[in-house]
Amino acid sequence: MAKEIERKFLIQGDHWRDLAKGRYYCQGYVPTQGKQTVRVRIIEDKGYLTLKGPVVGISRSEFEYEIPLTDAQTILAELCQKPVIEKHRYRIVLGDVVWEVDEFLGENQGLLLAEVELSDADQTVDLPTWIGEEVTGDPRYYNSNLVEYPFKNWA
């Protein structure tokens, strides 16, 4: 079984921008009951289906499969909640970890988040200077919640 273990942070400053080139992501969420997530994502010209279990601490089960682009486009248009999440993602390798910085667009314009995936929940990681407040346990920052409660509507 695949396991996702990650920490999430706000970004401060622009020092991260020179470290990677961004790729365009468009993703949506199929409504579910309970705490599992069904995500459909397009990264440039490829489609993906992802199933995620409930969060336990900072980890959860995750399964991701490539699907035909036309299927992903149809699922996003017909089955996913609106608005879909649009963002540029920057992958930044620092030491033995990869940081993923998401610069949100559309309804979530202005939100900048960084995630780092860990090999285990107790792994320590050096925080770059551009990392701000940790928001790992704050559900407002889950991409699936940004569909229902877009950043532009936050007080």
What is the number of helices (H) and of strands (E) in the chain? 2, 9
Respond yes or no: is residue 141 known to be catalytic. Answer: no
Q: Is 35 helix (H, G, I), strand (E, B) or coil?
A: coil
Cα 58 to Cα 115: distance, rounded to the nearest angstrom: 12
Domain ranges of the chain: 3-153
Classify domain 3-153 at the CATH superfamily level.
Hypothetical Protein Pfu-838710-001 (2.40.320.10)
List Cβ neighbours of 135 (8 Å cut-off, separation of 6 or more). Answer: 8, 9, 10, 113, 141
Per-residue model confidence as pLDDT tens for the chain (155 residues):
588 889 999 999 999 999 999 999 999 999 998 889 999 999 999 999 999 999 888 888 999 999 999 999 999 999 999 999 999 999 999 999 999 999 999 999 999 999 999 988 889 999 999 999 999 989 999 998 999 999 999 97
Give me the catalytic one of 25, 29, 90, 141: 29
Q: What 3-state DSSP class applies to 20?
A: coil
Residue 118 near residue 7, CB atoms below 8 Å? yes
Distance between CA atoms of residues 53 and 125, nearest Å: 25
Question: What does the angle CA 79 – CA 80 – CA 86 come to, to the nearest 5 degrees?
Answer: 145
Residue 11 CA to residue 77 CA, distance in Å, equals 31
Q: Helix, strand, or coil here: 135?
A: coil
pLDDT confidence of residue 11: 97
- CA gyration radius, the chain: 15
Phi and psi at 19, nearest 5°, equal -90, -10
- Cα angle for residues 120, 17, 133 (degrees, 5° grid): 50
pTM for the complete prediction? 0.90
State the pLDDT at residue 155: 78
Q: Give residue 56's pLDDT.
A: 86
